[in-house]
Chain A
Amino acid sequence: MAEMTRREFMLGEGSGTGSGSQRLHVGVGPAHPAMHGIIRIVTELDGEVIVRADVEIGYLHRAFEKDCEQGGYNNAIPYTDRLNYVSPLINNFGYCAAVEKLLGIDVSERCKYIRVIMAEISRVCDHLTCIGASAMELGAFTVFLYMIKAREYLWELVEDVTGARLTISYGRVGGVKADLPDGFAERAAKAFKETREVLDEVHRLLTGNRIFMDRMIGVGALSREETIAYAITGPLLRAVGVPYDVRRAQPYDVYDRLAFEIPTQKAGDNYARYLVRMAEMEQSMRIVEQALAMIPGGPINVDFAGRPIDPAAYVDRGKQGKTEGLLLVPITLSPNLQGSERPAHDRVNAADKRVVLPPKETTYGSIEGLMNHFMLIMEGFGIRPPQGEAYVAVEGANGELGFYVVSDGSDRPYRVRCRPPCLPPMAALHRMIEGGMVADLIPTFGSVNMIGGELDR
């Protein structure tokens, strides 16, 4: 009803119903200020109403799947960072999980918790960005600044753990790059406190805001049947009342041990999607808090002796044959390997020499370690899963993120397919915007949360 009234108010009575006016073709994008991501939507307009829309993608295609076939299994991890660049950790872990399934190995308990913690922090970052950017396009610039501020706190956590903010390359087949740093739980608690304050503020600014509600309610809606038929997952599916979440339906890592709710809404419009995302952020923070409380220390090898020495001096001692007790001496690692010292390395990686690089102490200090390192790095050797195929789905910020990896038994993946969670909603975008007004294209596009990196790969 509100929809009709507004349309008639804007266009006059009888408008938008094919009253003989000429159709106008307007191309939106590929480079448009309100398009975060490069995409082109060719619209056919009747007045201000979109009659037909054609969505063109591919502007950010950079051959992710082809590139993955060129190197070893771990070489693809930096490429997965660049899929969904707002929550790259989830992509890392999804890809690693697929290769681990192919290998038939299991990662350590502590690693599973770390993956859950980092994935949930990324999910909050992703939702913050999505809501902040969509609100900004509706004029709520304050919300954008607040949310980016909160995301900054979370990215500082990510930086503490991975050493990078965006291109983190933190996952490894069989584990993760580094253990959590000291005092991580306290810093996470502080960041969450700030984030919750921001969310509270945004709730007060947006959720009951008349302008925001008028722009969002009833706009961009998709029916439950159509959402399922388009294989749309994630917040968009939960916004039509289907409580499907990979974390609950097919739990991976340790999600089956953690208590969290799956927020759903009924309407399926932009406002419902906004509410789902807002509620999910709180659940994600809840998961992280539980995981941080439950995370096991893992085996700590108390085999240290003496002060840490420089890697070069360490290697020299080995060359001179002074290997007596050498493997018990820790070495000073370069800052970019912080968290990968031997005790930490053993805690967060699977104990499988065919898959996981040995810690640096072992590589520098023993011939077995050096050989193990080379066997994993040399071309033609490396990680070699048996012939076969595996599909693993994880819950990305936008929905089901799947990796389908085919192995031919060599050290390179034969085929890596990424099932991008935002492709199905983009395939259905024309169904969401047709019949609506041009101005409604922007909030709908925002609520779909297209990420060019994973859509175009």
Chain B
Amino acid sequence: MDGAAMLAALRARFGSGVIETHDFRGDHTAVVTREALPRVLVHCRDEPALAFEMLTDLTAVDYSKYPGREDGPRFEVVYHLYSIAHNHRLRVKVRVDEDDAVVPTAVDLWPVADWFEREVWDMFGVRFAGHPDPRRLLMYEEFVGHPLRKDYPIDRRQPLIGPTN
């Protein structure tokens, strides 16, 4: 299935669950609502015509300083999917507000999401509901704040504390 057909099928199947789609520079992208996200991801993995066996990447972007999007939802959680069987890719995005930065977890679909989601929590402070082990991944537990947020200054220093165990 080519990218445009993939996006059309997702729009047809999930209706208002898919907010918008685009294919800038050939990267087919679907922005979905948080409510539809678990169903979309399950569909992407299990539908034979899509068969996205791999969650190649999961990350987030803080849009609070992006021109024209300062007032919109602050975070975008980005899923990059790849299918070995069909050799195609898809990007799924979900937008969340800062005061309600929670996204359902994908650990039960792809176990690699465990570490990816821990990293997103660590770097952006987006929580993943249902994550079995929501610790920080790269920073230490005593670290205050989330360094990849746009309002975290790059030169802020914090005391270095070793892990407590």
Contacts and interface: CB of A to CB of B under 8 A. Distances in A.
B3 to A, nearest CB: 13
B112 A428 contact: yes
B154 A66 contact: yes
Interface in B13-44: 24-25, 27, 29
A52 interface: no
A456 B80 contact: no
The dominant DSSP class at the A interface is: mixed
B137 A57 contact: yes
Nearest to A455: B138
A127 B139 CA distance: 29
A58 B141 CA distance: 11
Contacts of A393: 56
B57 A417 contact: yes
Interface in A214-236: 226, 228-233
Interface residues of B, number: 40
Contacts, number: 103
Nearest to B153: A66
A457 to B, nearest CB: 8
Contacts of A408: 65-67
A201 interface: no
Contacts of A102: 25
A67 B147 CA distance: 11
Interface string B100-139: 0000000000111011100000010000000000001111
A61 B138 contact: yes
B148 A66 contact: yes
Contacts of A229: 53, 110-112
30 contacts: A40-B163, A56-B163, A57-B137, A58-B137, A58-B138, A65-B123, A228-B84, A230-B112, A231-B54, A231-B56, A231-B110, A232-B112, A242-B84, A389-B24, A389-B29, A391-B89, A404-B59, A406-B61, A408-B66, A414-B66, A415-B62, A417-B59, A419-B56, A419-B57, A419-B59, A423-B116, A424-B112, A427-B111, A427-B112, A457-B138
Given A231-B55, A233-B56, A391-B89, 12 more contacts: A58-B138, A66-B147, A66-B152, A102-B25, A228-B84, A229-B110, A244-B84, A389-B24, A390-B25, A408-B65, A419-B59, A423-B115
Interface of B: 24-25, 27, 29, 53-57, 59, 61-62, 65-67, 78, 80, 82, 84, 87, 89, 91, 110-112, 114-116, 123, 136-140, 147-148, 152, 154, 163, 165
